[in-house]
Amino acid sequence: MTRQRTLGLAALAMLAAAPLAIGGCLNSSAAGIDPAKQALPDYGPVSPEEALAVIQACRDDPDFVLLDIRTPAEVEAGHLPGAENLDFYAPAFVDELAAADRDKVYLIYCRTANRTGQAWTLMSGLGFEKVYDLAGGITLWNELGYPICTGAVGRGHTCAVAGYPGID
């Protein structure tokens, strides 16, 4: 084999392996990463188990947004640790969503996944491509015993949940 061909094959091998080395909060199918190695599902509806894996893998990524689209009163009664709130029923919901960064990865949830189904469709229409939708909403999340934090979301509020690595 010629030296040029050997170098060319080595370069191709490095390019093929690059997505595996990037890691972080990338969608497996969009980035060409083997889902089994990354343990991240495809964008779209995800089970609570898959959502937990996404949160654990992405929580330190500044390009990841855990978005609760319920009312402030619903959020205060219990929300996923690390969530931000954007009220689906607020008059400015569509405008605020339209102003959001389309390059970020979003995991959206509501009470039972009715509002998130509508929001996911809206986000897709607005050009968002990296959106997870928690199937069953926080209701199913809670029924399965996953962590929930109480209190208003915002500055100065932190959630500490023992027993769930990667969520605090």
Distance CA(96)–CA(62), nearest Å, equals: 19
Catalytic machinery residues: 110
Domain 41-143 sits in CATH at 3.40.250.10
Q: What are phi and psi of 107, to 5 degrees?
A: -120, 110
Distance CA(94)–CA(99), nearest Å, equals: 9
Tell me the per-residue pLDDT of 117-162, one tens digit each, with 9 for 90 and over. 999 999 999 999 999 999 999 999 999 999 899 888 876 666 766 5
| pLDDT at position 155 | 62
| pLDDT at position 49 | 95
Q: What residue spans define the domains of the chain?
A: 41-143
Tell me the per-residue pLDDT of 21-70, one tens digit each, with 9 for 90 and over. 334 565 544 443 334 445 699 999 999 999 999 999 998 999 999 999 99
Which residues have C-beta within 8 Å of that of residue 47, sequence separation ≥ 6? 135, 136
